[in-house]
Amino acid sequence: MPVARRQVLAAAAAAPLVASTLGGTSAAAETVRETGDYLVGRGMADVTGPAAENGMMGYSMPQQQTAGIHLRTLARAFVVADGEKRIAFVTAELGAVFQSVHQGVLRKLRETYGDLYTEQNVLLNATHTHAACGGDSHYAAYDLAILGFQEQTYNAVVDGITEAISRAHADLKPGTAHLGRAVLTDASANRSRSAFDLNPQPDKDHFPLGIDPAVTVLRFAQGSRDVGAITWFATHGTSMTNTNRLISSDNKGYAAFAWEQLDPDFVACFAQTNAGDMSPNLNLSPGSGPTEDEFENTRIIGDRQFRAAKRAFDAAQEQITGAVDHRMCFVDLSKVTVDGRFTPDGQQHTTCTAAIGVSMLAGSREDGPGLPIPEGIRNPFLDWLGGADAPIPDGLADAQAPKPIAVPFGAMKPYPWCPEVLPLQLVRIGQLHLVAVPAECTIVAGLRLRQAVADELGVPLENVLVQGYANAYSQYVTTPEEYDAQQYEGASTLFGRYTLPAYQQEFARLAAAMRSGASVPPGPTPRDLRGKLINFQPGVVFDDKPPGREFGDVLTEPAARYRRAEQVTAEFVTGHPKNDLRTGGTFAEVQRQVGGEWRRVADDRHWSTKYHWTRSGAATSTAKITWDIPPNTPAGRYRIVHHGNWKNGWNGEISAFTGTSRTFVVT
């Protein structure tokens, strides 16, 4: 599936006539709701950040910086309208959608669409891959390991998500949606079983294997043609380990890639649910299970999700009918008074100022430990912030008990290190309801949250899903019982033991408003921290080339002949990838000669390719491109092409170049 396939979806801008009908009458909307005919659009765009020397988001490892691309990261969008209301749903292959990104996307949408797309009806979420670029948060906690705010990454993410929504908007056509379901039991394992076991038996009875095996698929068609699907399944984006330095969309990215290979116009979105304690590492060790190879594990876990999704998709018989609706408000999670009907002891309790526990600093042993900063190495961004040794406010230790506090994120100065005013959103598409949580819930926390909403709405539990990692990021949500264990997830539950009950209460309030048709007060306005953070990651000063060489020259040529399943390698003189992210394009191509033309058959969005970038000197660098020849590759003549850019040290000018290997034969 070449990167260029995205241009097919961009061409959908020829749908203004359809789009002009969206402000239909209420009578028209009622007809849509009764028949299940909607306006449906889908779009896709690139959100890949710098492919070199940018910290990765997820493992909190300062030394884990990008050094190439395995799977370029994308944002996939769907717009669904019923003639009266609409929602825009986006899943981006990122570690998290931060509040800064949510704010930035809404600003850009407002410039183009006015009040058509707002915080009320736009739902942004992340796959939670741990192999995408970081540094796009305006809150310090999530930029610590990246050495500060990375504007280049931020712009790539905001622009890409906005473009995906714009393409979905332009693609709107009459369509339908159907629900499908399946069960998948060999793509996740409970990485915090001792905490899970502390929950009451009725909760555990919902998950006899200790995992959430539910696969839910929303199948979209325009007329009689299937055009896309959203698949929800709970497993972490941690098949790739904390030693990997290639940008990767991880297992969910492979699942999407595998499905989209079947149809270049199909958009396959693989979203998260309550994946907080669900690991793809089936042997509960980083990079282990079902094999000991992280790339192969990524493929296998992704393929299992794809095949389960396809089963649910093919069997989807339940047509979506009814209204498109939404409720959204901001809540200060650090000061919620929780009614006793949502707490384990039936008593009123309150949440508290955000803090992380000691166990959080160690990371998850099953997916990858964090923060192993060698002795003597300092973090200049942390120094600029004034260090992490802030005093713990009076009473916070008691409020966070039994958590031993490591860092009081919410009490840091001059600004908290994490957001406390968070977006809570409830979205309805016919009979399906999405509880958009700005955090990662464990499976039992997700169950209780779904039950609270389902009970308030009077709908079946299976028609309410937790949409995790949505619109902002505030780490974990555990049950009070799991919190007491102070495993990694409990230590990362920021607002204390009653964080989940607070969410249950506030989402039940949104559900009650949706049921009655009432509006919801917007709540407090989250702070805007643009320009408040600094970047300590060095940029590109200039690029140089070895003596006697030019940019794009081939340093290592492929062999003359290969068989299928063998690996082709070519190396080139290159410049720094930060000079041009090649958004929507590629650093690497595999081309096949067909007649008298060279045609692209793979690029850096393909599973079969890897683009490695390495420094070979103070200002010189090398690009190594590998191609694992797929077993179904046609025999013929092929070549490797590298695209790059170099920066002139005298005038700062950036120039593009292309290098091409010699021809080789695949037999």
DSSP 259-279: HHTT-TT-EEEEE--S-TTEE
Q: How many residues does the chain have?
A: 667
Is the pLDDT confidence value at 649 over 50? yes
Query: Which residues are known binding-site members for Zn(2+)?
Result: 128, 236, 440, 476
Give the tens place of pLDDT for each residue, 115-134. 999 999 999 999 999 999 99
Going by their DSSP bridges, the two strands 621-628 and 609-615 should be labelled as antiparallel
Give the tens place of pLDDT for each residue, 209-236. 999 999 999 999 999 999 999 999 999 9
pLDDT of amino acid 27 = 54
Helices (H), 227-365: 250-260, 294-314, 358-362
Query: Which residues are known binding-site members?
Result: 128, 236, 440, 476
CA angle 421, 514, 277 (to 5 degrees): 55
Give the tens place of pLDDT for each residue, 302-354. 999 999 999 999 999 999 999 999 999 999 999 999 999 999 999 999 999 99
Is the pLDDT confidence value at 366 over 90? no
pLDDT of amino acid 34 = 63
What confidence category does residue 32 fall into, taking pLDDT thresholds of 50, 70 and 90? Answer: low
Q: Please tell me which residue, 364 or 325, carries the higher pLDDT value.
A: 325
The C-alpha atoms of residue 519 and residue 86 are separated, in whole angstroms, by 16
pLDDT of amino acid 369 = 64
**Fold assignment, 554-666:** Immunoglobulin-like (2.60.40)
How many angstroms from the chain centroid is the CA of residue 537? 23
Is the pLDDT confidence value at 557 over 50? yes
How many angstroms from the chain centroid is the CA of residue 665? 38
Is the pLDDT confidence value at 601 over 70? yes
pLDDT of amino acid 30 = 59
pLDDT of amino acid 661 = 98
Going by their DSSP bridges, the two strands 214-222 and 173-183 should be labelled as antiparallel
Q: At what angle do helices 443-457 and 499-516 cross, to 10 degrees?
A: 30
Is the pLDDT confidence value at 372 over 80? no
Helix (H, G, I), strand (E, B) or coil at 584: coil
* Average pLDDT score over residue span 540-559: 97
What confidence category does residue 31 fall into, taking pLDDT thresholds of 50, 70 and 90? Answer: low
Q: Which amino acid is at 245?
A: R
pLDDT of amino acid 367 = 77
Segment holding 641, helix H or strand E = strand 636-647
Give the tens place of pLDDT for each residue, 38-84. 999 999 999 999 999 999 999 999 999 999 999 999 999 999 999 99
Do 525 and 123 contact (CB within 8 A), yes or no?
no
Do 144 and 420 contact (CB within 8 A), yes or no?
no
Q: What single-letter DSSP state applies at residue 213?
A: -
pLDDT of amino acid 2 = 41
Start-end of CATH 2.60.40.2300 domains in the chain: 554-666
In terms of Cβ atoms closer than 10 Å to its own Cβ (0-12, 13-18, 19+), residue 523 is: middle
pLDDT of amino acid 383 = 85
Give the tens place of pLDDT for each residue, 490-549. 999 999 999 999 999 999 999 999 999 999 999 999 999 999 999 999 899 999 999 999
Is the pLDDT confidence value at 25 over 60? no
pLDDT of amino acid 370 = 60
Over pLDDT 90: what percentage of the chain? 88
Q: What single-letter DSSP state applies at residue 318?
A: E
Q: Which two tokens stand for residue 392?
A: 């713990």
State the number of CA atoms in the 13 A half-sphere of 332 facing the CB. 14
**How many angstroms separate the Cα of 132 from the Cα of each of 102, 240, 250, 619?**
17, 11, 9, 25
Is the pLDDT confidence value at 147 over 80? yes
pLDDT of amino acid 16 = 33
Name the CA radius of gyration of the chain, rounded. 24
Q: Which of 158, 451, 508 is CA-nearest to residue 331? A: 508
pLDDT of amino acid 375 = 47
Catalytic residue annotation = 279
Q: 665 — alpha (psi -120 to 50), left (phi > 0) or beta? A: beta
* Average pLDDT score over residue span 188-199: 97
* Average pLDDT score over residue span 162-190: 98
pLDDT of amino acid 387 = 83
